[in-house]
Structure 1
Amino acid sequence: MTLRTFIVEDNATIRENLIGTLEELASIQPLGWAENEADARAWLSGQHGDWDLAIIDLFLRQGSGLGVLEACKAREPRQRVVVLSNYATTDMRKRCSQLGADAVFDKSNEIDALIDYCMQQSTGQASA
C-alpha cells in the first residue's frame, strides 16, 4: 500500500531527489510539498485525515519545522510525522519527540533508515 505523503523541504534539489527515491523504494505517493512553515501548516490543516505521512525539515525558508510539528499534534493516530534534517542532534531529537515526531532522521547518514521506516509503515497499513 502506498503512503500518501506530504513533504516540507525548502531545498528543491533535496526535495525532488527525496520524492524520487521514496516513490521508487518505499511506496510513497507524494501529495504535495511546502517550502515554509505557513504553507505547510495551511496544507496540513486543510487536509485533515487525507494524508498518511509528513516528512518535515527543521530549517525552512521562513518559519521552522518545529512549528509544523506543533501543527500536527492533533493528527489522527494512524498518521505519522517524521523529521528529516541535517541538524538531528540529541537535543533536537528530544525536542522533536516532545512535539510529537514519530521519528527523526539525519539527512546525511540516515536516508536508508527513513526508507526502511516508510516501508514498515506501508506494510503496517496494508495489514491494518
Structure 2
Amino acid sequence: MKLRTYIVEDNATIRENLIAALEELAEVESVGIAETEFEGTDWLTRHTTQWDIAIVDLFLRQGSGLGVLAACSQRLPHQKIVVLSNYATPDVRTRCAQLGVDAVFDKSNEIDALVDYCIDFSAERKSTKLNRSAGS
C-alpha cells in the first residue's frame, strides 16, 4: 500500500518534480496538492483519514505553511507532517518542532533525506500493519 501524500507547495515545478521523485523512489501516491494556506488547511482538516503524510512549504502564494502546520496539530497518531523549505534555519526548525512537525528538510540539499524519510515511514507502516494482522 502506497503512502498517501498531500503536498502544500506553490511552485509548480518543484511540486511536480517532488511528486515524480517520491512516486518513483518511495512508493508514494499523491492524493492532492495546495498552493495556499487556506487550500492546504481546508483539505487536510476535512479529509482527516485520507492522508498519511503532508509535505508543507512555509512560504506560499497566499498565507503561510505555519498556519497549515498549526491546523494539523490534532492529526491522527499515524499521520506525519514534514516541512520542505528553502529556509530550514535553526530558528525555523525550532518553531516547526513547537508546532509538532515530525521533520524539516531543506529544499536545496536535503531532498534525498526526505525521500529516505518517506521510504522509512512507508516500511514502518507496512510492518505495523503486518504485526496487527499476524496478531489477529
1:73 alignment counterpart: 73
Deviation at 1:91, TM superposition (A): 0.3
SS in structure 2 at match of 1:104: strand
- Give the residue type in structure 2 aligned to 1:14: I
Question: How many angstroms does 1:45 deviate by?
Answer: 1.2
- 2: distance between equivalents of 1:22 and 1:50? 18
TM-score, normalised on structure 2?
Answer: 0.93
Shift of 1:50: 1.5
Residue matched to 1:61:
61
Structure ID, larger Rg: 2
Per-residue deviation, 1:2: 1.2
The secondary structure found in structure 2 opposite 1:76 is coil
Percent sequence identity over aligned pairs? 65
Gapped regions of structure 1 (runs ≥ 5): none
Deviation at 1:125, TM superposition (A): 0.5
Kept in 2: contact 1:49–1:75 (CA 8 A): no
Give the residue type in structure 2 aligned to 1:10. D
**Letter matched to residue 77 of structure 2:** P
Taking only aligned residues, the RMSD between alpha carbons, in angstroms, comes to 0.5
How far does residue 49 in structure 1 lie from its aligned partner after superposition?
Answer: 1.8
Could you say what secondary structure the match of 1:31 adopts? strand
